[in-house]
Chain A
Amino acid sequence: MERSQPRRQVAAMKQSLFDQGLLDEQFIQLEELSDDANPNFVEEIVTLYYRDSSRLISSIEQALKERHTLDFNKLDTLMHQFKGSSSSIGAKKVKAECTLFREYCRTGNAEGCMKTFQQLKKEYASLRKKLEAYFQLARQAGPMETACRPK
């Protein structure tokens, strides 16, 4: 069928995202929340996430500019918020970087913080692109009956 191909593609793409460790179970939870009222619920949420978290990212970036007089408490607080947000959309790798960052904050490792943050930003941006592609394909494929869990 015409529709099966795109659907299979979408499913494959999703599977790939999971396999790469970019997404976790939470993403599936979100997909399961989609219904007639919100057919593109997950996309809406992810969009909201990127919009809101960008300001957190800039705040952290700003705080990291202090270079050698980092306020670790503040950084930790900001990162805690960011981590909460990221985990709620199922951004697995991003969340892992957050945890690492907070650990460096706890030990007062400025270098570790900065390096981790760079990595975090990369993951964050990469995920965004991939999800955008995913959503686009999903919209083309049409609504799926149910969210399918990746193996």
Chain B
Amino acid sequence: MNLSNGRGSMSTVTSGAAVKSADAVSDQFPAGLRVLVVDDDPTCLMILEKMLRTCLYEVTKCNTAEKALTLLRKNKNGFDIVISDVHMPDMDGFKLLEHIGLEMDLPVIMMSADDGKNVVMKGVTHGACDYLIKPVRIEALKNIWQHVVRKRKNEWRDTEQSGSAEEGDRQQKASDDADYSSSANESNWRNSKKRRDEEEEAEERDDTSTLKKPRVVWSVELHQQFVAAVDQLGIDKAVPKKILELMNVPGLTRENVASHLQKYRLYLRRLSGVSQHQNNMNSSFMNPQDATFGTISSINGIDLQTLAAAGQLPAQSLATLQAAGLGRSAPKGGLPMPIMDQRNLFSFENPRLRFTEGQQQQQHLSNSKPVNLLHGIPTNMEPKQLASLHQSSQPLGNMTVRVNASTQSNPLLMQMAQSQPRGHMLSENTGPHLPRLPSSLGQPSASNGTSNALMGRNGIAGSTRAPGYNPISQSSSMMNFPINQTTEMPISSFPLGSTPGISSITTKGSFQEEVTSGIKRAGGFVPNYDIFSELQKPHDWEVSNPSLTYNAASQHANPLHGNIDVSPSVLVQQSFSSNQQTGQSRDANTMIVKPIFSASESMEQGTLQNQHLNTLVTDNSIRVKTERIPDASSQTNFYPEHYGQEDLMSALLKQQEGIGPAENDFDFDGYSLDNVPV
């Protein structure tokens, strides 16, 4: 699928470097290990440098923590391990340790002349992988490579478990870690295989091969994806496995996520002393992802998948969009989307990351998350609001808040995001479109904003499902969205494919179809949401929109084939859902979700509408690939007025870059914002 390809390519980019470096290292390992030494004492620094050089390591030294962080950030994959003094003038060594752990996830060794038990314990609790007492002897330094190997091994194993295929194994083996028990790898691999479909595995394999990197570099983008995923899940329910799925980053292991989550929690705790962290930690760490998944899947088995898919899509599309619009080209500030992104990003991320593999997982994730995300997403989500919300409320806890506030904008986004994932799922079936998204998503940084926005929508959709359902309907787009996201909304019920509107969309792009269908489903899914239940009769919707020529008519069945098209469906759904809520088919929708409704309405009216939706969606979501829609206006067919979303999206998009016509194909992209709901 394109998705996988896209993802693969994305991951390749990131993982390639890692792989390369890993390969390079492994040739003469441990020689060439890239060490960063941080110490304010010049004498010690010089001695350490000399000792490390003698061990045949590649040494970089700096005398302040700030310089070290700058170096690390600038050169994400440039170091294998960090050695830092505890007492430094500009920053406490433990703080630096935390930062590094969160952002780069590198093994860090602490050093000090102080050998008091308390200090050493502090090192342990902050996550240092070792603690050396000064004066440091060269013998102690000779073995620091073990920490690098150990970490990589754990990460790798994690990846495997999460489904990284044997490729990872192979790669792992390739790296000098001969110690990695191949048997262990194999078993992991087998487990992961069981967990995932063949399909996923295949994708994983591709990913893993590229990814195999021993150490995960938590780039800003990746971290944002992570944060988005956590947000989507809800800090309380953010389990590494789910996060991993939501993020859907090839080659990323559950362990990577788990350790990063731990750090993130520490970080959050430090920031706000939020208890959620702890909850999250507990929940995330403890919850066996499988278990969670199991439950979730049981809820909506299919739906989840769809959701996941959809979720994936949106995230990706968001990312892409964001990347396209916000990040890369356009100033993020302009776009409200970016703001939302924090969370949105995540929501998007999820779908993106694991479209194939994580679909199931995502579902779970989304299921669990959406609720948080969308509490009472108000209707008008102003992307800006959302964005601001997101931005401000980085911490997970905020997400919920944000969602509400931003619901206005978020809902749309969320919905879109949600729908997107669904679209993914659908698109998967449809194939082609999806892949695109991932690639587009690949521009995470940029897309963050957008994706976030989208995600936000999704998230909102998800979270709001339950409570906010009503309001959601108002927000319409938003609400539906959550449905999509939340596991509650059975993806299956969300007949992306089925939605007539969707199909029409698909005409535009496979994606679209799915979107619509997904959207519809979204409505249907959410058991929690009354609306959803109403929506569940997407049939009505579908029926009502016979005109929606979905190509996807058949697609209904595929709620979210990961089509980007989903976005359109999202839109549609949104409208639909609203319709359902009120029982009025279009009117209600229109009222609530402008963009959506109009979309749905239009959909009903004809495929054109759907297309509009799609365009809307696409536009919003990303400039990325929306095949057709760069702007609502561009689309002509759209009913700009109706589509509040569209406007939003277009506004967002435009801001981003003047949204150009998303003509891209990204199936996924289309989702981005518009699809949000459902």
- Residues of A within 8 Å of B43, CB to CB, are 45, 48-49, 52-53, 85, 88-89
Shortest beta-carbon distance, A150 to chain B, in Å? 17
A41 interface hit (Cβ, 8 Å): yes
Minimal Cβ-Cβ distance residue in B for A51: B42
Contact B135 A88 (CB under 8 A): yes
CA distance A38 to B54 in the complex (A): 11
Q: Is A81 an interface residue (CB 8 A)?
A: yes
- In the complex, which residues of chain A have a beta carbon less than 8 angstroms from the beta carbon of B51? 29, 33
Q: Are B114 and A85 in contact (CB under 8 A)?
A: no
Contact partners of B54 in chain A: CB under 8 A: 33, 35
Per-residue contact bits, chain B 113-130, to A (CB 8 Å; 1 contact, 0 not)? 110000000000000000
Specify which chain A residues have a CB less than 8 angstroms from the CB of B194 in the assembled complex. none
Task: Determine whether A118 belongs to the interface, using a CB cutoff of 8 Å to chain B.
Answer: no
Q: Give complex CA distance A87, B41 in Å.
A: 12
- Which of B46, B112, B136, B137 interacts with A45 by CB under 8 Å? B46
Residues of B within 8 A of A84 (CB): 41, 44, 112-113, 134-135
Q: Do residues A29 and B138 form an inter-chain contact, with CB atoms below 8 A?
A: yes
Question: How far in angstroms is the closest Cβ of chain A from B658?
Answer: 56
A85 CA / B45 CA spacing, docked (Å) = 10
Closest to B89 in A: A81
Chain B window 26-54, contacts with chain A (Cβ cutoff 8 Å), 1 for yes, 0 for no: 00000000000000111110110011001
Report how far A85 CA is from B46 CA in the complex, Å.
11
Any A CB within 8 A of the CB of B87: yes
A38-B50 contact in complex given A80-B114, A90-B135, C-beta closer than 8 Å: yes
Given contacts A85-B41, A90-B135, contact A30 B87 (CB under 8 A): no
Q: Nearest chain-B residue to A30 (Cβ)?
A: B47
Partner among A32, A38, A88, A90 whose Cβ is within 8 Å of the Cβ of B44:
A88
Contact between A45 and B47, CB atoms less than 8 A apart: yes
Q: Are A26 and B135 in contact (CB under 8 A)?
A: yes
A48/B46 in contact, CB under 8 A: yes
- A77 contacts the other chain (CB 8 A): yes
Asked if residues A88 and B134 are in contact (CB atoms below 8 Å), the reply is: yes
When chains A and B are docked, how far (Å) is the Cα of A103 from the Cα of B551? 82
Measured in the bound complex, the distance between the Cα atoms of B86 and A81 in whole Å is 11
Chain B residues lying within 8 Å of A80, measured Cβ to Cβ, are 87, 113-114
Best-buried of A30, A80, A81, A83 by chain B (most CB within 10 Å):
A81
From 588 to 622 in chain B, residues with beta carbon under 8 angstroms from any chain A beta carbon are none
Say yes or no: A33 contacts B42, CB within 8 Å. Answer: no
A52-B137 Cα distance, complex, nearest whole Å:
21
Q: Which residues 11-61 of A sit at the B interface, judged by CB distance below 8 A?
A: 26, 29-30, 32-33, 35, 38, 41, 44-45, 48-49, 52-53
Closest Cβ neighbor of A33 among chain B residues: B50
Nearest CB of chain A from residue B40's CB, rounded to whole Å: 8
Q: Which of A41, A48, A83, A84 has the most CB of B within 10 A?
A: A84
Q: Are B87 and A87 in contact (CB under 8 A)?
A: no
Complex Cα distance, B43 from A49, in Å, reads: 6
Give the bracket for the number of chain A residues in contact with chain B. Answer: 20 to 34
State in angstroms the CA–CA spacing of A32 and B137 once bound together: 11
Q: Point out the residues of chain A lying under 8 angstroms from B87, CB to CB.
A: 77, 80-81
Smallest CB–CB gap between A89 and chain B, Å? 7
What CA separation (Å) do A29 and B51 show in the bound complex?
Answer: 9
Complex: A77 Cα to B40 Cα, angstroms: 13
Question: What residues on B are CB-neighbors of A33 within 8 Å?
Answer: 47, 50-51, 54, 138
- Smallest CB–CB gap between B136 and chain A, Å? 8
B113 engages A87 (CB within 8 Å): yes
A89 to B134 CA separation, bound complex (whole angstroms): 11
Give A84's nearest chain B residue, CB to CB: B113
Chain A nearest CB from B309 CB (Å) reads: 56
Is there contact, CB below 8 Å, between A87 and B42?
no
**Whole-angstrom distance between the Cβ of B143 and the nearest chain A Cβ:** 16
Please give the distance in Å from A21's CB to the nearest CB on chain B. 16
Chain A 63-78 per-residue mask, 1 if CB under 8 angstroms from chain B, else 0: 0000000000000010
When C-beta atoms are compared, the residue in chain A nearest to B50 turns out to be A33
Nearest-CB residue, chain A, relative to B54: A33
Could you tell me the distance between the alpha carbons of A141 and B54 in the complex, rounded to whole angstroms? 25
Query: What per-residue 1/0 map shows which CB atoms of B5-45 lie under 8 Å from chain A?
Result: 00000000000000000000000000000000000111110
B113 with A83: CB separation less than 8 A: yes
Contacts of B136 in A (CB 8 A): 88
- A52 touching B41 by the CB < 8 A rule? yes
Within 8 A of B (CB), among A92-141: none
Most buried by A among B44, B112, B136: B44
Q: Which residues of B contact A45 (CB under 8 A)?
A: 43, 46-47
Residue of B nearest to A34 (CB): B50
Closest chain A CB from B598 CB (angstroms):
67
Select which of A35, A83, A88 is within 8 A of B47 by beta carbon.
A88
- Shortest CB-to-CB span from A11 to chain B, Å, is 22
When C-beta atoms are compared, the residue in chain A nearest to B136 turns out to be: A88
Nearest-neighbor residue (CB-CB) of B39 within chain A: A84
B50 and A41 within 8 A (CB) = yes
Q: Provide the residues of chain B in CB contact with A89, threshold 8 Å.
A: 43, 47
CB neighbours of B138 from chain A (8 A): 29, 32-33
Chain B nearest CB: distance from A101 CB in Å? 13
The answer to whether A48 touches B50, judged by C-beta atoms less than 8 angstroms apart, is no
Q: Which of B42, B43, B50, B134 has the most CB of A within 10 A?
A: B43
Contacts of B136-152 to chain A: CB distance below 8 A: 136-138
In the complex, how many angstroms separate the beta carbon of A149 from the nearest chain B beta carbon? 14
B40, B50, B135: the one contacting A87 at CB < 8 Å is B135
Return the chain A residue nearest B40 by Cβ: A81
Residue numbers in A under 8 Å from B137 (CB-CB): 26, 29
Nearest-neighbour CB distance to chain A for B75, whole angstroms, equals: 25
B134 touches A52 (CB 8 A): no
Please give the distance in Å from B668's CB to the nearest CB on chain A. Answer: 55
Residues of B contacting A87 in the complex (Cβ-Cβ under 8 angstroms): 113, 134-135
How distant is A73 from chain B, measured CB to nearest CB, in Å? 13
Residues of chain B contacted by A77 (CB below 8 angstroms): 87
Closest chain A residue to B133 by CB distance? A87
Q: Please report which residues of chain B, range 56-104, place their CB below 8 angstroms from some CB of chain A when the two chains form the complex.
A: 87
* Smallest CB gap from A98: residue in B: B113
Query: Which A residues are in CB contact (< 8 Å) with B112?
Result: 84
In the bound assembly, the distance between CA atoms of A84 and B114 in angstroms comes to: 8
**Nearest-Cβ distance from residue B13 to partner chain A, whole angstroms:** 37
A–B pairs, 24, beta carbons within 8 Å: A26-B137, A30-B47, A33-B50, A33-B138, A35-B54, A38-B50, A45-B43, A48-B43, A52-B41, A53-B43, A80-B87, A80-B113, A80-B114, A81-B40, A81-B41, A81-B87, A85-B41, A85-B43, A85-B44, A88-B41, A88-B44, A88-B135, A88-B136, A90-B135
5 tightest A-B contacts by CB? A84-B113, A88-B135, A49-B43, A87-B135, A26-B135
Chain A residues in contact with chain B, CB under 8 A?
26, 29-30, 32-33, 35, 38, 41, 44-45, 48-49, 52-53, 77, 80-81, 83-85, 87-90
Chain B residues within CB distance 8 Å of chain A: 40-44, 46-47, 50-51, 54, 87, 112-114, 134-138
Given A29-B135, A32-B138, A89-B47, 13 other A-B residues pairs in contact with their CB atoms under 8 A: A33-B47, A33-B50, A45-B43, A48-B42, A52-B41, A53-B43, A80-B114, A84-B113, A84-B134, A87-B134, A87-B135, A88-B136, A90-B135
